């Protein structure tokens, strides 16, 4: 007599595996893009149709990936911004213009729907960028992570507070290390994060203090980012001017940079510049701003 377990080899296992695989992908897409998980689920009937076709496994994967990416991008450039407006969020510009000299450090922020803000944040950023050009013509600002398009309280990991449209990260301004000439429109790393302006000898080292307290996430971006500065160094003059513009703007309520940079750049008296706490990520590689 045959062993019943070998005669019926758990027919539901492949289905359960497929469901688990879909759920895992949906979870990842939701964490990184917010709407990507829902769009993946919308594509499941297409995936099933492709699976029934008499093609090779590689061909099927290629067709499914192309179908998903096409539908994802189409919806992200049409329906998502249209619906986000109803919830009070608008997309930041995807490229520089004379009227709005601000763009993402990496287009991935836009492709992943991480460039949505409140209308007040958008107009404030535009005013601040144009103000910068009065003293430093040709200066263009790069933004990093902003917020997702929908749902107040939905965090944009790893930034727990970027959940209401009122938060935005901005890149520092850089200069050519050899010539001292301003650099615009070039990011210092792939994401724009992770290349840090470390505390110098004699400066208060908040990063070391947080490491002692066990803040494991604090230096996460530095750990995963190649420390190649590409001949770029912090443009202290322009970055200080940017920070002054930010603190003087009536809509900006507070901003975060590391304490040693606040002191180094002569901004100790600026009450809007605060310390973010060891539970957050370090802020000597970017500026975090918040508006009303």
Residue placing its CB nearer to Zn ion in the complex, 282 or 288: 288
- What is the closest distance, in whole angstroms, from the C-beta atom of residue 156 to Zn ion in the complex? 9
- Near Zn ion in 250-289, by CB under 5 A: 288
Residue placing its CB nearer to Zn ion in the complex, 40 or 193: 193
Please give the distance of CA 139 from its chain centroid, rounded to a whole number. 21
Give the residue nearest to Zn ion (CB): 288
Residue placing its CB nearer to Zn ion in the complex, 160 or 224: 160
Largest CA distance in the chain: 89
Q: How far from 20 is each of 13, 14, 27, 44, CA to CA, in Å?
A: 10, 10, 10, 13
Fill in the per-residue mask, 142 to 181: x = in contact with Zn ion (CB under 5 A), - = not in contact.
Answer: -----------------x---------x------------
- What is the closest distance, in whole angstroms, from the C-beta atom of residue 201 to Zn ion in the complex? 28
With CB under 5 A, what is the number of residues at the site for Zn ion?
A: 3
DSSP string, 111-155: HTT--EE-HHHHHHHHHHHHHHHHHSTT--EEE---B-SS-TT--
By the rule CB under 5 A, 114 interacts with Zn ion:
no
- What is the closest distance, in whole angstroms, from the C-beta atom of residue 272 to Zn ion in the complex? 15
Tokens 């210092």 -> residue: 188
- What is the closest distance, in whole angstroms, from the C-beta atom of residue 39 to Zn ion in the complex? 26
Residue placing its CB nearer to Zn ion in the complex, 18 or 254: 254
- What is the closest distance, in whole angstroms, from the C-beta atom of residue 119 to Zn ion in the complex? 19
Long-range contacts of 270-278 (CB under 8 A, 24+ apart): 270/243, 270/244, 272/246, 272/247, 273/243, 273/247, 275/206, 278/209, 278/210, 278/213, 278/215, 278/218
Residue placing its CB nearer to Zn ion in the complex, 72 or 193: 193
- What is the closest distance, in whole angstroms, from the C-beta atom of residue 276 to Zn ion in the complex? 8
Residue placing its CB nearer to Zn ion in the complex, 84 or 289: 289
Q: Which residues bind Zn ion (CB under 5 A)?
A: 159, 169, 288
């Amino acid at each position: 007599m045959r062993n019943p377990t070998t005669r019926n080899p758990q027919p539901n296992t492949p289905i359960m595996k497929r469901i688990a695989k879909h759920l895992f992908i949906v979870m990842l897409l939701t964490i990184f893009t917010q709407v990507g998980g829902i769009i993946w689920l919308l594509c499941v009937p297409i995936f099933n149709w492709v699976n029934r076709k008499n093609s090779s496994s590689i061909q099927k994967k290629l067709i499914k990936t192309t179908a998903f990416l096409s539908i994802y991008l189409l919806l992200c450039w049409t329906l998502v911004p249209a619906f986000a407006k109803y919830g009070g969020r608008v997309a930041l510009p995807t490229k520089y213009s004379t009227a709005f000299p601000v763009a993402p450090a990496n287009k991935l922020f836009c492709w992943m729907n991480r460039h949505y803000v409140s209308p007040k944040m958008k107009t404030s950023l535009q005013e601040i960028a144009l103000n910068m050009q009065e003293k430093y013509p040709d200066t263009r600002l790069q933004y990093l992570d902003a917020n997702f398009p929908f749902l107040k309280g939905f965090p944009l990991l790893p930034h727990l507070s970027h959940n209401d449209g009122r938060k935005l990260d901005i890149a520092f301004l850089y200069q050519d290390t050899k010539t001292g000439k301003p650099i615009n429109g070039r990011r210092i790393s792939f994401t724009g994060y992770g290349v840090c302006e470390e505390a110098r000898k004699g400066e208060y080292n908040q990063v070391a203090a947080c490491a002692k307290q066990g803040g494991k996430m604090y230096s996460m971006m530095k750990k995963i980012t190649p420390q190649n500065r590409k001949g770029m160094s912090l443009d202290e003059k322009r970055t200080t001017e940017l920070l002054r513009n930010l603190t003087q703007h009536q809509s900006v309520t507070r901003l975060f940079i590391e304490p040693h940079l606040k002191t180094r750049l002569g901004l100790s008296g600026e009450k809007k510049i605060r310390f973010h706490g060891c539970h957050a990520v370090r802020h000597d590689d970017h500026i975090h701003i918040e508006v009303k």
